[in-house]
Amino acid sequence: MRTQDADQGRRRLLKFMAAAAATAGAALWGFLPARARQAFAERFPTRTVERSTFRFDPAHGEVVWSSGRRERYELLLDGLVETPVRLGYAQLRALPQVRRRADFHCVEGWSVTDAPWGGVSFAELFDRVRLAKQARYAVFHSLGQTDPVGGLTHYVESLPLADLLNPELGALLALELDGAPLTDARGAPARVISPFDMAYKSIKFVTRVEFTEAAVPGWWTRANPIYPVRAPVEPHRLRTPDPRLR
């Protein structure tokens, strides 16, 4: 009897411990998302060359300038297109949204792994316009001003349409990071994410996409000529091989 009582006592103790562990685990799980977001933010440095003259209000889809003036954000699609198109922030959010985890590699040598982006695929976005046959590149223009470099006063980057439309490369126009609208530090209201290219190609604060026949050297390349227009991540830094190198 004593042995049986002892066994029953041990079973009750184990059940209690299991229940306590489950309760503690559930309580800790409630804190994990916020902690994870904080940890993610801490390992994602902020780099920008734009002057701090504006912020973005996602609730109203408006750019707020330092003077207090507010204006509706619009993304202009123009250049080698049949008819230019303007899309407001709410219209971009109403398009089919995709979520992708992608690594982010800076020329300074640091990387952020598994960044959880959300936004619009370029195939979906570019379907809003009829492109001319000679269109080969998308030139992205940023809101705000930078120091003048090579004739540019705002950040510009160009990427081949073939890359942007290749599903294996996973590029997108990001509107979210970690399940929330992009912050100003991360490039609100919209930024390019091109996972297999160096981060200077992932232009922030996108306000215009100009379709062209040829590549355009971007602000970073003009300011730092050692960095080329084509900027694939070095293979040794990639966890997944670049599909373009097959």
- Report pLDDT digits (tens) over 24-56: 333 332 344 555 555 555 666 666 778 889 999
Write down the pLDDT at residue 39. Answer: 54
Please indicate, yes or no, if residue 62 is contained in any of the structural domains.
no
Give me the half-sphere count of Cα atoms (radius 13 Å) on the Cβ side of residue 162.
7
User: Do 108 and 182 share a structural domain?
Assistant: yes
Domain that holds residue 182: 74-245
Cα dihedral 41, 111, 188, 120, rounded to 10, equals -120
Summarize the confidence of residues 182-195 as an average pLDDT: 95
What is the mean pLDDT of the segment spanning 50-66? Answer: 93
Residue 18 predicted with pLDDT over 50: no
pLDDT for 17: 39
% of the chain residues with pLDDT over 70: 81
CATH number at residue 176: 3.90.420.10
Mean pLDDT is lowest, of 23-27, 41-45, 84-88, 110-114, for 23-27
Write the pLDDT tens digit of every residue in 97-110: 999 999 999 988 88
Q: Mark whether 90 and 211 lie in a shared domain.
A: yes
Domains in the chain, number: 2
Same domain, residue pair 103 and 217 = yes
Nearest to 191 by CA among 104, 130, 240, 119: 119
Looking at the structure, tell me whether residues 234 and 187 fall in a common domain: yes
Residue 17 lies in a domain: yes
Over residues 226-230, the mean pLDDT reads 94
Tell me, yes or no, whether 164 and 208 share the same domain. yes
Q: pLDDT band at 16, cuts 50/70/90?
A: very low
**Closest listed residue to residue 144, CA positions, set 238, 63, 218:** 63
Same domain, 106 and 209: yes
Question: Is position 61 within any domain?
Answer: no
Phi, psi of 173, deg, nearest 5? -90, 105
**Rounded to an integer, what is the distance from CA 45 to the centroid of its chain?**
14
Is 48 part of a structural domain of the chain? no
> Is 28 in the same domain as 83?
no
Residues 35 and 79 in one domain: no
pLDDT of residue 110: 87
Residue 144 domain-assigned? yes
